[in-house]
Amino acid sequence: MRAKTSLLIRFLSVMICFFPALSSARWETVDEASVTFIDDHDEYDVAADGSYVNLRHRVVKIEKESAIKDYGTAELEYDGAIETMEIVSAFVKNDETRIAVDKKYIEHRSAGADNTGFNSKKVIVIAFPGIRTGSITELTIKKTRFKAIHQGHFSQIYTPGTFHSKKGRLMTVRSAIPLQYSISGPKGYIAGASKKNGNIYEYYFDLKKDIYLQIAPNSEPGLWFPETFYPVINLTSFKSWADMTGVFSKKLHPIINSKLPARFVSFVEKAKSETGFERRADVLVSQMIQELRYMGDWRNSNFYHMPRSFEEIDRTSFGDCKDLSLVLAAMLRTLGYKADLAVIERTEWPSYLQMPLPLTQFFNHMIVRAEDENGKLYWLDPTNRTANAKGKWPDLADRPVIAMAPWATTPERTPALLPEDTQSHAIRTDEMSETGQVKTSLTMVYSGTIESEMLPELRLRGDKKSSQFFISMLTGSNPYKDEQVDVKVADPYIAAPLTIKASAVVTRVPSRTTAGFSYTLPAIFSTHANFSSEERELGVKIGDIETTGMKVHLTGIKLIGELPEKCEIDSRWIKGSVTYSQTDKGILIETSEVIKKNKFTNAELKSAEFKTLIQKIKNCHSLRQLIYKPLGKS
Distance of CA 259 to the CA centre of its chain: 36
Beta strands in 306-453 (DSSP E): 318-319, 338-344, 365-371, 377-380, 400-403, 412-413, 422-431, 437-448
Residue 304: per-residue pLDDT: 59
Distance of CA 40 to the CA centre of its chain: 30
- What confidence tens digit (pLDDT) does each residue in 235-244 have? 999 999 999 9
Burial class (CB in 10 A: 0-12, 13-18, 19+), 198: exposed
- pLDDT > 90: what percent of the chain? 62
pLDDT beyond 50 at 32:
yes
- Partners of 110 in the β-ladder: 122
Report in angstroms the alpha-carbon separations of 413 from 228, 329, 342, 379, 544.
18, 19, 11, 10, 20
Residue 299: per-residue pLDDT: 58
pLDDT beyond 50 at 23:
no
d(CA 220, CA 602): 14
3-state class (DSSP) for residue 389: coil
Query: Which DSSP helix (H) or strand (E) runs through 467?
Result: helix 449-475
Average pLDDT over residues 196-200: 96
**Contact by Cβ (8 Å): 328, 256:** no
d(CA 33, CA 133): 12
Nearest to 442 by CA among 499, 481, 480, 508: 499
Residue 534: per-residue pLDDT: 66
Helices (H) and strands (E) in the chain, counts: 11, 39
Report in angstroms the alpha-carbon separations of 626 from 14, 327, 389, 517, 588.
19, 58, 45, 8, 11
Instruction: Report strand pairing: 557-559 vs 625-630.
Output: antiparallel
- Whether domain 243-408 has CATH 3.10.620.30: yes
Burial class (CB in 10 A: 0-12, 13-18, 19+), 331: buried
- What confidence tens digit (pLDDT) does each residue in 250-264 have? 999 999 999 999 999
d(CA 58, CA 587): 68
pTM (2 d.p.): 0.89
Sequence-distant (6+) residues with CB within 8 A of 257 are: none
Residue 542: per-residue pLDDT: 83
pLDDT grade, residue 302 (50/70/90)?
low
**Contact by Cβ (8 Å): 224, 347:** no
Backbone torsions φ then ψ of 18, nearest 5 degrees: -145, 120
Average pLDDT over residues 44-63: 96
Q: Domain 32-214+231-236: state its class.
A: mainly beta
**Contact by Cβ (8 Å): 591, 523:** no
d(CA 96, CA 487): 72
Nearest to 524 by CA among 422, 623, 620: 620
> What does the DSSP 8-state code read for residue 32?
G
- Partners of 346 in the β-ladder: none
Q: Which amino acid is at 239?
A: K
Q: 221-225, 390-394, 548-552, 617-621 — which is least confidently predicted? A: 221-225
* DSSP calls for 494-563: B---EEEEEEEEEE-PPEE-SSSEEEEPP-SSHHHHSB--TT--SEEE-S-SEEEEEEEEEESEEE-SPP
- What confidence tens digit (pLDDT) does each residue in 486-543 have? 998 889 999 999 999 999 999 988 888 888 888 888 888 888 877 666 666 778 888 8
Q: In the chain, what are the domain boundaries?
A: 7-23+420-630, 32-214+231-236, 243-408
